[in-house]
């Protein structure tokens, strides 16, 4: 069966939103670190930069690695949202929202690919 049969009408929209959300996450992490301290800026943006080329070209392998790295930002957002004082917990909340949005778009974009791979495994048996 052809891969294009698994694609939804909104697949291109999900791809564009996915690219934008990753870029937004990169910009947000850079801006928040520049405002509040440059000590761990490189450590926080390296996982996004490593995956960025593959994400911009919507390479499914790199998108799956991007999903793994999103867990780091999700955890960081949860910790800073729940344990920081008033102005800083808002930055954690924004990080958390951007990460959840990016995670959702990643899953929506990769869903047809996963369906196709599953069906190809069944045909090989």
> CA dihedral in degrees (49, 43, 76, 92; nearest 10)?
-80
37 vs 42, higher pLDDT: 42
pLDDT number for residue 109: 92
pLDDT number for residue 63: 93
pLDDT number for residue 85: 87
Average pLDDT value for residue range 4-21? 85
């Amino acid at each position: 069966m052809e891969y294009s049969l698994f694609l939804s009408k909104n697949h291109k929209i999900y791809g564009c939103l996915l690219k934008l959300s990753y870029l937004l996450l990169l910009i947000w992490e850079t801006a928040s670190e520049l405002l509040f301290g440059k000590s761990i800026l490189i450590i926080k943006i390296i996982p996004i930069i490593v995956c960025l080329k593959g994400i911009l070209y919507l390479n499914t392998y790199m998108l799956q690695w991007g999903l793994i790295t999103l867990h780091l930002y999700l955890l960081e957002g949860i910790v800073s949202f729940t344990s920081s004082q008033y102005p800083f917990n808002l930055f954690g909340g924004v990080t958390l929202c951007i990460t959840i949005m990016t995670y959702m778009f990643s899953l929506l974009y990769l869903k047809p690919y996963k369906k196709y791979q599953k069906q190809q495994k069944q045909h090989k048996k």
